[in-house]
Amino acid sequence: MRVTIFGSGYVGLVTGACLADAGNHVVCVDVDARKIERLNRGEIPIHEPGLEAIIKRNAEAGRIEFTTDAAKGVEHGLFQLIAVGTPQDEDGSADLRYVLSAARTIAAHMTRYCVVITKSTVPVGTADKVRKELEMTLAGRGSSVEFDVVSNPEFLKEGAAIADFMKPDRVVIGTDNPRTTELMRALYEPFIRNHDRLIVMDIRSSELTKYAANAMLATKISFMNELANIAERLGADIEKVRVGIGSDPRIGYSFIYPGTGYGGSCFPKDVQALIRSAHEVGHKAQILTSVEAVNERQKAVLVDKMKLHFSDLQGRTLALWGLAFKPNTDDMREAPSRAIIDMLLKAGAHVRAYDPVAADEAKRIYANRADFVLCKSAYEAAQGADALAIVTEWQEFRSPDFDRLREILKAPVIFDGRNLYDPAMVGRFGFTYYAIGRGRSSLPANA
């Protein structure tokens, strides 16, 4: 099949690569000429395990190409996927200017029937706006080309996006035309052959499904962080509580790990956008408002523990392990690390940080700051620091050389924002260890 994708960001690249790998001919269109030049040189602008190899082999096979030529893209595809960014507006709502611009571009060049698919995460009612833009632009041309609009939200986890696309839990299709259901089924058939994961619904329900999924996952995270803060003060261990409740199949173990809060490009933006959507129809989303408030508070928990331990952070040097909002990505958008770093620098501390893949992004964000140093290894970051803070649960942080750590740190103190270690074991190595929700020992003595 012939597929055109507008937007060569995270969703567009993963979608394009996986569709091409199934034998389709994919053209990715983007207005960013530098990004297209990089892609045509084989350079992938994001970190996603497995993506580079898939793009390379499909580019060599002629199944995926990258261009700034919108007319070429529209002419190419039966399927026109809109996968552009929907940045957060000042009021928390999703900014649809790029989505609607892509719709106008498609209509400006459309000469035959096509299926216009919104892949970007968008508020309920966006497909109606896309349809209106298409109709208005076509009318302005004096054209009456037939088209259908479909909602097809993505459910890709950063760091595992290839597997999520190739073996999806579900493929949600929002449509008002049975014809497009069969076309979409044919497009996704290679990925749902063994088990029919296609879920067909009306367009508005499809649009809400994406927001509802992310809001539910964010709610689980904030709920566990709330419980962790209670556990500390009651002398209970949240990790034991987590196992106790996770064994209930109605709850499960996914997304019930306490930590320093959620981040990334999806959860924060989508929760706020859903709150805004509710407000626009006269409903106060109390649970979602609390989820967001708990998450913002949780980002300060490690720094609060540091302030209680040291009394004053002025002049202190803190080592940070992990900058990306989660492992296996270089994405630092809304990452807890950014809030923690900003609070530490504001308090007069110095930061020595290490992340396996997010160094370039951190360099861009904190360029020319003398009080922020990027290191090439975890142990280099810890060298001479007053304490170590663990912010992202990268695999390489799970079994460090504690004897070596104790020698290179100025003081044997660990603030573990991801509960990677057993408190008793770390204590045997002579460390003062503050975790999240692991009883009274997680709190400084003067808390």
Concerning whether 266 is annotated as a catalytic residue, the answer is yes
Please give the DSSP secondary-structure letter assigned to residue 329: -
The partner residues of 433 in beta bridges, in order of sequence, read 414
H/E run at residue 126:
helix 126-141
What does each C-alpha distance from 326 to 101, 220, 391, 394, 412 come to in angstroms?
32, 16, 9, 8, 26
Euclidean distance between CA atoms 126 and 165, whole angstroms: 23
Euclidean distance between CA atoms 209 and 165, whole angstroms: 17
- C-alpha closest to that of 16 among 46, 55, 53: 55
User: Exposed, middle or buried by CB within 10 Å (0-12, 13-18, 19+), for 107?
Assistant: buried
Note whether 87 and 101 are within 8 A (CB).
no
Euclidean distance between CA atoms 222 and 299, whole angstroms: 11
Task: Count the neighbouring beta carbons within 10 Å of the beta carbon of residue 271.
Answer: 25
Given 28, 114, 266, 375, which residue is catalytic?
266
Euclidean distance between CA atoms 121 and 123, whole angstroms: 7
User: Which residue numbers are catalytic?
Assistant: 266
